[in-house]
Amino acid sequence: MTEWISWLIEPLQFAFMARALLVTVVAALTCAILSVWLVQIGWALMGDAVSHAVLPGVAISYILGWPFAVGAFIFGAGAVALIGGVRATTRIKSDAAIGVVFTALFALGLVIISKTPSQTDLGHILFGNVLGVSDADIWQVLGSGAIAVSLLLLKRRDLTLYAFDRAHADAIGINTRWLSMLLLGLLALTVVVALQAVGILLVVAMLITPGVTAYLLTKRFDRMLWLSMAITVVCAVAGLYLSYYLDASAGGAVVLTQSAAFLLAYLFGPRGGVVVNWIRSRREVVAA
Amino acid sequence: MTPTAADHHVDSAASAQTLEARGVAVRYGTVQALQGVDLTLDSATITGLLGMNGSGKSSFFGAIMGTVKTTAGSVRLFGAAPKEARSRGLVAYMPQSENVDWDFPISVREVVMTGRYGRLGLTRRPHGRDRAAVGEALDRVGLTELASRQIGELSGGQRKRVFVARAIAQGARLLLLDEPFAGVDKASEATISALLRELRDEGCSILISTHDLAGVPELCDDVVLLKNRVLFRGEPSEALSPERLALVFGLESA
Ligand SMILES: Nc1ncnc2c1ncn2[C@@H]1O[C@H](COP(=O)(O)OP(=O)(O)O)[C@@H](O)[C@H]1O
Ligand SMILES: [Mg+2]
């Protein structure tokens, strides 16, 4: 028993681990909440796009000494606007429009960083540097996370209606354009929160995996939301401890833990679990 | 039904037509889905909007609800701007089955509750009277027992009744039903038709799109034949004459 406790407490004796835990949990929680709507609307690719598109924003922020959140948000929201613009003015299919825009912005980020080698560490931005977050970073994460979480929870019924039946929302005079803008703005904000924890490349995992995992476990939206949050917090903590004791990438370990949770839900979940369905079908065969 | 805020608004607009569309046109890229559509609807009538697939029925609904951009023409609802009428909750919409995500994690009761959202505050937290209205609506369509089911766990006819219940809970006066009888067995169709007649008798104006002629004569008071424009408007018996149908449906059912 005491061994367990010391196993749990040991990492937290290091200030950097305590901060990493805080940042990871806040980031994962914000992503987990947004995730349930993102996957139901079918915006997973949009999450991928926005998370990549913030790279030039982060790079410019470092160069100019701005808070990283400012540049990242500008480019995240800018990417959304650009994608919308390309879609509205051409006949290009939606996924291709998304692909063209975000890869261009990501490439722009790479070029900017390659021209300013001294100030920025590409690896930290791409893969996260949660063990090295500064106090300023923490405040940005907490501030952005608090705004995103409270707006999402406040408008959760409208967002669910938007995801389920946009036409009805329009028919009763709810401003769906505004709702979609709110959601995309919150996506940009959430990406800003999460890239500190797991880096640009893995943000999309945190935006998709919790939502689909919870979806496999329940048929009720409210429950899906709470499950997504609960599973994600457990995974964030477990992942970070794993990374500490295995001396492995923190962002990688957190996402991998979430993937493991998805795998469990996929295999054993009541709603679509392949093992459960297989056993059920075997029983039916035997019974027949 | 108990009187609601929406009923009160209707009184003030009682003299005006439920729907008044003038010269409505809709185009998608190079496809001209609708052209010069004039259509007025009175209260307490069931109107059938008949046309084959691609004739623009769904586009017309979209134009009424503001989800589809019109390239010409105007729409008035209850004598007011469409936006205003929609905000008052006067217009209800039943989506075509293929446009509904039946795997969506939402229960029957929750779907019906979305009919009340226009009356609710910022967070759409329902009050006792909203729960009561939802319960009443579920009762009327006979889904009380199934209220906690996920919407995909219903039969074709029960699924349609969920959206009728939503319109009732909303207190709408104009119901737009897109293909309400597609994928519905005869018994359920009769149940739904009876329900729609009741709503009509309470003063609702109901516009039903369908490409299936069976059941139209008994249900509809009035028929509109659509083929990207209005070809005919009148009595069901006249609309369903072989020559007219050949015009609308081409070789398909001539
Ligand atoms: N979103 C869209 N983009 C492009 N074309 C569309 C779109 N929606 C409908 N159309 C086209 O407009 C025409 C009318 O379609 P629709 O209104 O769905 O007819 P109906 O409901 O009678 O089957 C069809 O030719 C259809 O292909
Ligand atoms: Mg249609």
Q: Which CATH class is domain B22-88+211-254?
A: alpha beta
Q: State pTM to two decimals.
A: 0.90
Ligand in closest contact with the CA of B60: 1
Contact status, residue B229 vs residue B35, Cβ threshold 8 Å:
yes
Chosen for mutation from A87, A182, A219, A271 (greatest number of chain B CBs closer than 10 Å) is: A219
Contact status, residue A74 vs residue A188, Cβ threshold 8 Å:
no
Contacts of B118 in chain A (CB under 8 A): 172-174
pLDDT in tens, chain A (288 residues): 788 889 888 999 999 999 999 999 999 999 999 999 999 999 999 999 999 999 999 889 888 888 888 899 899 999 999 999 998 888 899 899 999 999 999 999 999 988 886 666 788 888 888 988 888 889 989 999 999 999 999 999 999 999 999 999 999 999 999 999 999 999 999 998 898 889 998 999 999 999 999 999 999 999 999 999 999 999 999 999 999 999 999 999 999 999 999 999 999 888 667 777 787 777 777 666
Contact status, residue B230 vs residue B51, Cβ threshold 8 Å:
no
- The answer for residues whose C-beta is within 8 angstroms of residue B97's C-beta and 6 or more apart is B156, B159, B160, B179, B182, B183
**ipTM for the whole complex:** 0.89
Place of tokens 């904000």: A189
Tokens of B229: 């424009």
Task: Decide if A171 and B176 are in contact by the 8 Å CB cutoff.
Answer: yes
Q: Which of B65, B125, B166 sits opposite A170 (nearest CB)?
A: B65
Residue boundaries of the structural domains of chain B? 22-88+211-254
What 3-state class would DSSP assign to B186?
A: helix
Cβ < 6 A, ligand 1 pocket = B 28, 31, 33, 51, 53-59
Q: What's the B98 CA to ligand 2 centre distance in angstroms?
A: 9
| Residue A89 burial (10 A CB sphere; 0-12, 13-18, 19+) | exposed
Residue boundaries of the structural domains of chain A? 2-287
Asked if the A2-287 domain carries CATH number 1.10.3470.10, the reply is yes
Task: Decide if A157 and B66 are in contact by the 8 Å CB cutoff.
Answer: no
Place of tokens 């010391």: A6
The pair phi, psi for residue B179, each rounded to 5°, is 50, 60
Ligand in closest contact with the CA of B98: 2
Nearest residue on chain B to A155, judged by CA atoms? B123
Nearest residue on chain A to B66, judged by CA atoms? A170
Interface contacts A/B by beta carbons within 8 Å: 84
Place of tokens 């919790």: A210
